[in-house]
């Protein structure tokens, strides 16, 4: 194993906003950009997960999306209402949003520009997968390979979240610190959809770290609006040229397994990996399978391009 460099979190100006990012791995290794999901700070790509990827020969870059963590907090957009969701679902009336997924994709490209990265392996989870798909569609020349994890195409025919997972998504923000910690544990219990003692033992420390970096409930609402306002990528995904891997859990209660299957079916030549017993999370026992898959896929793409 190489001695792994680590650059602590820094803030850079990109696409007109401040983006907080952190780098694991050697400067001359192949760049691998990790994009997190709705309301999730970059630290939801666990430190050790990032180190293990870096140990496979990647320069791993994680960052806070706009409106979360230490990146710029935006403004505008009211809390999403049930009526808007019903209009979207049944009448196809789009949700109003201060920004869309394409803007978040431009943030990621802006970060790459600021770091002098011409091309990267792009890996996104959940909403991050949607942003990664948008990058592969709109900026194909910047993508060495695409890995879309527990994500979907925006196709309205894909089944929605379970009632319990949907309730987690739409719950009003906690009023106190202790309530936040309790909610964090409960949310991940629902999303993991199974018993994962190693992760459960870390819920409190992960919640404390997230809380200490700063919460932005209004920002999470704007991110959700961005997802809903961006519509379906299904048709446009046919144009994706980057070698694509789709990873999805078989028991995902938030973005149903059909979302992953639809993504793989929409992108020419995409490979689909369904992970047995995985919900809407990256549980520690499943890291080896996930990291092996990302590693093999990215290195295969590099070898093919050479």
Give the least confident one: 83-92, 135-144, 163-172: 83-92
Q: Phi/psi of residue 106, each to 5°?
A: -65, -30
- Does residue 242 surpass a pLDDT of 90? yes
pLDDT at res. 91:
67
**Whole-angstrom Cα distance, residue 199 to residue 196?**
6
Element (H, E) at 281: none
Convert the pLDDT of each residue in 243-302 to its tens digit.
999 999 999 999 999 999 999 999 999 999 999 999 999 999 999 999 999 999 999 999
pLDDT in tens, 52-79: 999 999 999 999 999 999 999 999 877 7
Residues 6+ apart with CB under 8 A from 241: 140
| Residue 235 near residue 261, CB atoms below 8 Å | no
Using alpha carbons, list the distances in angstroms from residue 65 to 13, 223, 248: 13, 9, 22
| C-alpha to C-alpha distances, 166 to 17, 135, 195, 240, nearest whole angstrom | 30, 27, 20, 30
Read off the pLDDT band of 114 (50, 70, 90): very high
| pLDDT-based confidence at residue 111 (cuts at 50, 70, 90) | very high
Instruction: Tell me which of 4 and 299 has the higher pLDDT.
Output: 299
Q: Reply yes or no on whether the pLDDT at 236 is more than 80.
A: yes
Place of tokens 């803030």: 11
Per-residue pLDDT band at 84 (split at 50, 70, 90): confident
Interatomic CA distance for residues 32 and 212, integer angstroms: 27
Query: What is residue 1's predicted lDDT score, i.e. its pLDDT?
Result: 41
Non-local (6+) Cβ contacts of 91 within 8 A are none
Average pLDDT over every residue of 145-167: 95
d(CA 56, CA 242): 21
Which pLDDT value is given to residue 154?
Answer: 95
As a whole number of Å, the CA-based R_g of the chain is: 18
Residue 83 has pLDDT above 80, yes or no: no
Residue 3 has pLDDT above 60, yes or no: no
pLDDT of 2: 45
Instruction: Report residue 200's pLDDT band, with 50, 70 and 90 as the boundaries.
Output: very high
Measure Cα distances from 46 to 22, 77, 205 in Å: 12, 30, 12
The architecture (CATH level 2) of 6-162+218-305 comes to: 3-Layer(aba) Sandwich (3.40)
């Amino acid at each position: 194993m190489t001695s792994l460099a680590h650059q602590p979190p820094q803030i850079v100006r990109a696409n007109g906003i401040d983006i907080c990012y952190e780098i694991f791995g050697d400067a001359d290794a192949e760049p691998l950009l990790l994009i997190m999901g709705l309301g999730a700070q970059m630290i939801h790509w666990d430190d050790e997960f990032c180190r293990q990827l870096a140990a496979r020969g990647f320069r791993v870059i994680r960052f806070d999306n706009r409106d979360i963590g230490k990146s710029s907090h935006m403004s505008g957009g009211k809390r999403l209402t049930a009526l808007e969701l019903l209009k979207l679902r049944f009448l196809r009336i789009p949700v109003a949003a201060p920004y869309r997924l394409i803007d978040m994709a431009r943030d990621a490209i802006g970060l790459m520009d600021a770091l002098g990265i011409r091309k990267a392996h792009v890996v996104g989870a959940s909403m991050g997968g949607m942003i990664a798909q948008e990058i592969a569609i709109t900026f194909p020349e910047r993508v060495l390979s695409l890995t879309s994890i527990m994500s979907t195409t925006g196709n309205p025919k894909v089944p929605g979240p379970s009632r319990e997972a949907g309730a987690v998504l739409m719950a009003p923000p906690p009023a106190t610190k202790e309530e936040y910690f309790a909610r964090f544990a409960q949310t991940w219990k629902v999303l993991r959809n199974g018993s994962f003692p190693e992760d459960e033992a870390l819920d409190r420390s992960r919640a404390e770290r997230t809380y200490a970096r700063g919460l932005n409930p209004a920002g999470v609402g704007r991110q959700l609006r961005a997802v809903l306002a961006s519509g379906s990528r299904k048709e446009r995904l046919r144009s994706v040229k980057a070698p694509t891997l789709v990873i999805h859990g078989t028991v995902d209660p938030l973005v149903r397994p059909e979302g992953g299957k639809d993504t793989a079916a929409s992108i020419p030549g995409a490979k689909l990996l369904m992970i047995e017993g995985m919900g809407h999370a990256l549980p520690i026992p499943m890291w080896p399978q996930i990291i092996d898959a990302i590693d093999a896929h990215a290195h295969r793409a590099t070898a093919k391009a050479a």
